[in-house]
Amino acid sequence: MSAERAFVDSLKALASDPAARGLVDDCAVLEIGGETLVLTHDMLVEGVHVPMGADPADVAWKLVACNLSDLAAKGARPLGVLVGHMLGGDDARFAEGLGEVLSRYGVPLLGGDTVSGQAPRSWGLTAVGRATYRPVPSRAGAQPGDAVWITGPVGAAMIGFEGLRDRTGGDSTAYRRPAPRLAEGEALAPLASAMMDVSDGLLLDASRMAEASGVTFAIDSAAVPIAAPEARRADALRWGDDYELLATLPAGVEPPFEAWRIGEVLPQGEAPLLLDGEPPEGSLGYEHG
Amino acid sequence: MSAERAFVDSLKALASDPAARGLVDDCAVLEIGGETLVLTHDMLVEGVHVPMGADPADVAWKLVACNLSDLAAKGARPLGVLVGHMLGGDDARFAEGLGEVLSRYGVPLLGGDTVSGQAPRSWGLTAVGRATYRPVPSRAGAQPGDAVWITGPVGAAMIGFEGLRDRTGGDSTAYRRPAPRLAEGEALAPLASAMMDVSDGLLLDASRMAEASGVTFAIDSAAVPIAAPEARRADALRWGDDYELLATLPAGVEPPFEAWRIGEVLPQGEAPLLLDGEPPEGSLGYEHG
């Protein structure tokens, strides 16, 4: 983490505000021709973000989905993607998965690059979207008095991952093929004071959003929907890869679809996050990475 | 090559025309808000595109420069870049080189991603530009009767690489820190019938442009400016990494800056490329990779 932090700090020093925003806030925002473009770039590395030996079709799916999820958190509609693919293994299977996820979300493949390499391999993807609402939601706008909402349960990816790891034969779809909440992001963008996707764990991402907004989030753990046994609730709140959207909405405003109110925004206190009234102990989630 | 070709063919099958263009033609073109965006994504891999142990500042420079060169070939003015950086080694030095090249070309860093990984490391970069002339030049527009032009000498990167490899202490700047021809690309875009950058070797790239255009290029080897000893002329015509622009212009049209007329466009013959009247023998350049 310290290497990454130092590097990102160096990058931030390079970038002028608000251009630096992409390095803090997952997406870059670019005004052009009266439109607002949202751009995001994520890399996946074998053995870090996807298991060694993962089905290349699942790698392609996750590569696209995690970037589309970043667009979803901005209320942006995807215009296309550019893929960086390291050849080797089963490239045809990678192309198959890429075709599936792009077709599922109606996103064109605009271009990209193929390179030779060797394990552990890596892939990169840039997704470009058009903002459907301006200003584009950031993670820095939460206000005291807002309510904290989540678009769906956490823990499904954890259960899927464990099923794969332990070869239980359980359904691992949620882990292998996450679903970006594009429609939900568009619907929330005009309503939310802050929004982000939950990729690194609910508590960690909530803590980051609270810090970025200069407030404290009070989360009610029992109110969080989980897709895991009750005994795993604490883990589910800390596991990533679910790609639900976390949003703060002014009091009295409700999402126009089923969503869960999991807490409220308080003025900035000593800790950015309270879980059932106390700062949570131990790891809050997945630190990149 | 066959793995890459098959994969790229799979990708092309996924992509609708003209979206597939980016996979053939290095850049994607996206119309939005009355503007035309040009996007390109290139990856670099240690041991493949940059030497193992290369100065990370040079890696950052080359990563940006090779993508800006793709924009230059479209007459596009850079709006910003997103960088995918694999942590490890000297990240501060990478950030330093990134700062140098972005500052040199006045390009903002919009965002990106950092990931952990291990050698051989890889990096990705997406450059976004705004077309200054429409239609955006492609490599497919060369017409019989056009003249073939190049914006500068080839061979400097080869000499620089060899100097580094053999530790001669010679100037390796051209290899380590190539200069994208952005101003030249903008100036040529309204004049050129076809344009591309020479990244994989003049003969190979000329051959590709001729094939894409459905014509034959007749190149006069003695007319090609080289930045290498005369004894290395044949090698200089086949070495890549120089990032000059190759353009075809209608007869009688001359570039508004110093450039070299190195051949002419003929109706399609048996070979896409003639060198001093004959199809060149052996390798034409650097096959990706």
Euclidean distance between CA atoms A66 and A180, whole angstroms: 7
Of B97, B131, B165, which residue is a domain's last?
A: B131
Cβ–Cβ gap A83/B11 under 8 Å: yes
Chain A residues with beta carbon closer than 8 angstroms to that of B32: 32-33, 35, 37, 79, 130
Of B131, B162, B181, which residue is a domain's last?
A: B131
Q: Is A138 annotated as a binding residue?
A: no
Euclidean distance between CA atoms A202 and A239, whole angstroms: 7
Cβ–Cβ gap A98/B14 under 8 Å: yes
How far apart are the CA of A200 and the nearest CA of chain B, in angstroms?
14
- What is the predicted pLDDT for the residue at B13? 67
The share of chain B scoring above pLDDT 90, in percent, equals 70
At A189 the three-state DSSP class reads coil
Residue B2: pLDDT band by 50, 70, 90 thresholds? Answer: low
Q: What is the DSSP letter of A250?
A: -
Q: Which helix (H) or strand (E) holds A182?
A: helix A182-188
B270 shares a domain with B177: yes
The candidate with the shortest Cα–Cα distance to B266, out of B275, B256, B257, is B275
Residue B283: pLDDT band by 50, 70, 90 thresholds? Answer: confident
Residues 6 or more apart in contact with residue A260 via CB below 8 angstroms: A149, A150, A151, A152, A223, A224, A225
Mutate which of B9, B17, B43, B138 to disrupt the A interface (most A C-beta within 10 Å)? B43
The residue of chain A nearest to residue B1, with distances taken between CA atoms, is A116
Token digits of residue A170: 């359980």
A178 shares a domain with A248: yes
Q: Which helix (H) or strand (E) holds A161?
A: helix A156-165
Residue B119: pLDDT band by 50, 70, 90 thresholds? Answer: confident
Which range of A11-20, A236-245, B79-88 scores highest in mean pLDDT? It is: A236-245
Q: Picking from A9-23, A192-206, B258-272, which range would have the lowest pLDDT averaged per residue?
A: A9-23
Taking the CB of residue A254, how many other CB atoms lie within 10 A of it?
A: 11
Q: Which helix (H) or strand (E) holds A98?
A: helix A91-105
The share of chain B scoring above pLDDT 70, in percent, equals 90
- Domain interval for residue B84: 2-131
Query: Which tens digit of pLDDT belongs to each residue from B231-267?
Result: 999 999 999 889 999 999 999 999 999 999 999 999 9
B124 closest CB neighbour out of A43, A88, A92: A43
Q: Model ipTM?
A: 0.86
Please give the biggest Cα pair distance in chain A.
Answer: 54
- Report the CATH number at residue B271: 3.90.650.10
CB A288 within 8 A of CB B112: no
A223 shares a domain with A118: no
Of A106, A131, A156, which residue is a domain's last?
A: A131
**Per-window interface: B 31-90 vs A, CB < 8 A:** 32-35, 37, 39-45, 48-49, 79-80, 82-88
**Per-window interface: A 89-148 vs B, CB < 8 A:** 91-92, 94-96, 98-99, 102, 108-118, 120, 122, 124, 126, 128, 130
- What is the predicted pLDDT for the residue at B18? 47
- Please give the average per-residue pLDDT across A76-96, as a whole number: 90
Query: Which tens digit of pLDDT belongs to each residue from B183-219?
Result: 999 999 999 999 999 999 999 999 999 999 999 999 9
Euclidean distance between CA atoms B43 and B122, whole angstroms: 7
**Per-window interface: B 3-22 vs A, CB < 8 A:** 3-4, 6-8, 10-11, 13-16, 19-22
- Please give the average per-residue pLDDT across A52-65, as a whole number: 93
Q: What is the CA radius of gyration of chain B?
A: 18
* Residue A12 included in any domain: yes
A3 closest CB neighbour out of B32, B43, B87: B87
Backbone angles phi, psi at A138, to 5 degrees: -120, 180
- What is the predicted pLDDT for the residue at B147? 98
Euclidean distance between CA atoms B22 and B74, whole angstroms: 12
A34 shares a domain with A97: yes
A183 shares a domain with A96: no
Token digits of residue B217: 């290029």
Indicate if the pLDDT at residue B168 is higher than 80: yes
The share of chain A scoring above pLDDT 70, in percent, equals 90
- What is the predicted pLDDT for the residue at A285? 79
Residue A119: pLDDT band by 50, 70, 90 thresholds? Answer: confident
CB A248 within 8 A of CB A215: no
B142 or B286, which is more confident: B142
The candidate with the shortest Cα–Cα distance to B210, out of B257, B152, B280, is B280
* Residue A283 included in any domain: no
Q: Structural domain tally of chain B?
A: 2
* Residue A271 included in any domain: yes
Euclidean distance between CA atoms B128 and B126, whole angstroms: 7
- Please give the average per-residue pLDDT across A245-260, as a whole number: 97
B194 close to A (CB below 8 A)? no
- What is the predicted pLDDT for the residue at B12? 66
B118 shares a domain with B213: no
A169 close to B (CB below 8 A)? no
- What is the predicted pLDDT for the residue at B6? 65
How far apart are the CA of B230 and the nearest CA of chain A, in angstroms?
33
The candidate with the shortest Cα–Cα distance to B50, out of B132, B121, B108, is B121
Q: Is B26 annotated as a binding residue?
A: yes
- Between strands A260-267 and A215-219, the pairing is antiparallel
Burial class, B227, CB count within 10 angstroms (exposed 0-12 / middle 13-18 / buried 19+): middle
Indicate if the pLDDT at residue A183 is higher than 60: yes
Indicate if the pLDDT at residue B115 is higher than 90: no
B183 close to A (CB below 8 A)? no
**Arithmetic mean of pLDDT over chain A:** 90
Q: Picking from A70-74, A85-89, B154-158, which range would have the lowest pLDDT averaged per residue?
A: A85-89
Q: Is A42 annotated as a binding residue?
A: yes
Euclidean distance between CA atoms A3 and B90, whole angstroms: 9
* Residue B141 included in any domain: no
